[in-house]
Structure 1
Amino acid sequence: MYTVTLQDYPQLPEELRLQAERRYARTLEKALGGTEGLAAAYKAWSWAEESLDEISEEDRSLALRWQRAAIKAAQEGFAALGETDTAYFEVRLER
């Protein structure tokens, strides 16, 4: 499981925020093959971002898939809202 929250979007009605979060999550899941694929790609991306060590080719591929999917998901999430300089979507995996 995971949660998506829209952060730092000024003065946004609750229903519009929830719709944007759902669009973002739906796009991620579609691009990454559901919740399991999403979790694996997110973990690989996080590891790649934080690691000073070399990562495996498989993890590198997953991290790149996450990056592409997250960009597309953000475009979908912001589609009805318009982007701002400060707003972003935060994904948190539940342990």
Structure 2
Amino acid sequence: MPAHHLYTVALRDLSDLPPYRRAAAEAKYARALELQLGGPEGVAGSLATVQRLQRRASSGAEAAAQIHRWARAVSIARRIALRGLGQVEGVFFVVRTP
């Protein structure tokens, strides 16, 4: 599977944004995640791990570290991707694997 098909990113709750700016923000978000998590494979793998841990309601240091790493990466990526877009309160990105 090509790297760009390992996951998708969608910007939500910013309906008045022109499509080209939406696509640019989604691409920035994806790049920022990849830089922090080790490329497309790292993003897809980290997302799968966090989802599995959340489904199982896992606790412990390892689970907490994985979830914290994902949350930190998402927060940084959001800040980078939304920079310069104006009012973005309530706006969020959805990351999915096929």
Under a length normalisation based on structure 2, what TM-score does the superposition of the two structures give?
A: 0.82
1:71 aligns with 75
Q: How does 1:17-56 map to 2 (within 5 A)?
A: 17-54=22-59
Q: Mind listing any 5+ residue stretches in structure 2 that lack a counterpart?
A: 1-5
Matched AA of 2:68: L
How high is the sequence identity, in percent, across the aligned residues? 34
In terms of mean alpha carbon deviation, does 18-27 or 81-90 score higher?
81-90
Tell me how many residue pairs correspond in the alignment: 93
Aligned partners of 2:14 and 2:91 also within 8 Å: yes
Quote the offset at 1:71 in angstroms: 0.2
1:30-84: per-residue Cα shift (whole Å, max 9, x none)? 0000111111211222223333343672x43222211110000000110121352
Q: How does 1:74-85 map to 2 (within 5 A)?
A: 74-85=78-89
Q: Mind listing any 5+ residue stretches in structure 1 that lack a counterpart?
A: none
In 1, Cα distance between the equivalents of 2:70 and 2:91?
Answer: 19
In terms of mean alpha carbon deviation, does 30-39 or 42-51 score higher?
42-51
In 2, Cα distance between the equivalents of 1:63 and 1:47?
Answer: 10
Task: Please tell me whether residue 91 in structure 1 is matched to residue 95 in structure 2.
Answer: yes
Matched AA of 1:76: I
In 1, Cα distance between the equivalents of 2:57 and 2:73?
Answer: 24
